[in-house]
Amino acid sequence: MQNVQEQLSCGTSLPEAAVVWQVHLLRCQPSKLPFVGAVVLLGVLSAWVLFGQLLLVLLALVLLCKAAGEYLFPLTYRLDADGVWVSGFLLRQGLRWQEAKRLVSEGNGLYISPFANPSPLERFRGLHLRFADDGSVGDRFTVLDALTRWAPHLMQEGH
């Protein structure tokens, strides 16, 4: 604790706290659950009819849940001084600020790309950040404020 006080008295500041929030699309859009459930069920039943092996049916279930994971399971976003990180069901992605080249506004979120120009590969390499509800941590204002602090080079293009 004394070391922290010495840093503050010498004019240096502590690293600012990370911005961490969760978005769960199932809670935001519950009306889509019957459709997603029907697709997963149809895929599992198709795997059973085609292959008839429990292991392959379980594999199909896991793959379909992974594909629908962004909807079915909460995503946790983290912005800190090092970069941006997203984690969820069978998902861990991150992008350091030095690697981030472009910021694109998309509906209810932002897309951070490692490419300076649009590329077909960016959907596999970049990160989509969904905003939280207004007034909570992770809303548009909080995220843009954090980007201004930690990644001002992305904000220079007027996003």
Q: What is the pLDDT of residues 81-95, one digit of tens each?
A: 999 999 998 889 999
Do residues 57 and 123 share a domain?
no
CB of 100 closer than 8 Å to CB of 112: yes
State whether 81 and 62 are in the same domain. Answer: no
Q: What local confidence, expressed as pLDDT, does residue 17 receive?
A: 85
125-136 as b/e, with b when 16 or more CB fall inside 10 Å?
A: ebbbbbbbeeee
Provide the token pair at 36: 């997603």
Query: Is position 10 within any domain?
Result: no
Cα separation, 76 vs 90, in Å, equals: 12
Alpha carbon distance 75, 127 (integer Å): 12
pLDDT of residue 4: 36
* Torsion angle defined by CA atoms of residues 33, 39, 43 and 45, in that order, rounded to the nearest 10 degrees: 80
Same domain, yes or no, for 148 and 84? yes
Cα–Cα distance measured from residue 32 to residue 44, given in angstroms and rounded to the nearest whole number: 19
Residue with the bigger pLDDT between 5 and 46: it is 46
Percent of the chain whose pLDDT exceeds 90:
69
> Are residues 85 and 139 part of one domain?
yes
Domain boundary residue, one of 43, 69, 95: 69
Q: State the pairing for strand pair 109-113/127-130.
A: antiparallel
Based on the fold, state whether residues 55 and 99 are members of the same structural domain. Answer: no
If one counts the domains in the chain, the total is: 2
More confident call, 77 vs 156:
77
Q: What is the pLDDT of residues 7-44, one digit of tens each?
A: 333 444 435 789 999 999 999 899 999 999 999 999 99
pTM as predicted: 0.79
Same domain, 120 and 89: yes
pLDDT, residue 15, reads 52
Residue 107, pLDDT above cutoff 50: yes
* pLDDT in the model for residue 109: 93
Q: Is residue 2 part of a domain?
A: no
Higher pLDDT, 158 or 146: 146
Does residue 6 surpass a pLDDT of 50? no
- Cα–Cα distance measured from residue 103 to residue 154, given in angstroms and rounded to the nearest whole number: 6
DSSP 81: S
Does 58 lie in the same domain as 85? no
Rounded Cα–Cα distance for residues 127 and 24 (Å): 16
- Asked whether residue 9 is assigned to any structural domain, the reply reads no
Instruction: State the pLDDT confidence band at 157, using cuts at 50, 70 and 90.
Output: low
Sheet holding 109-113, edge to edge: 102-106, 109-113, 127-130
Q: Are residues 102 and 55 in the same domain?
A: no
Tell me which residue range forms the domain holding 144.
18-23+75-155
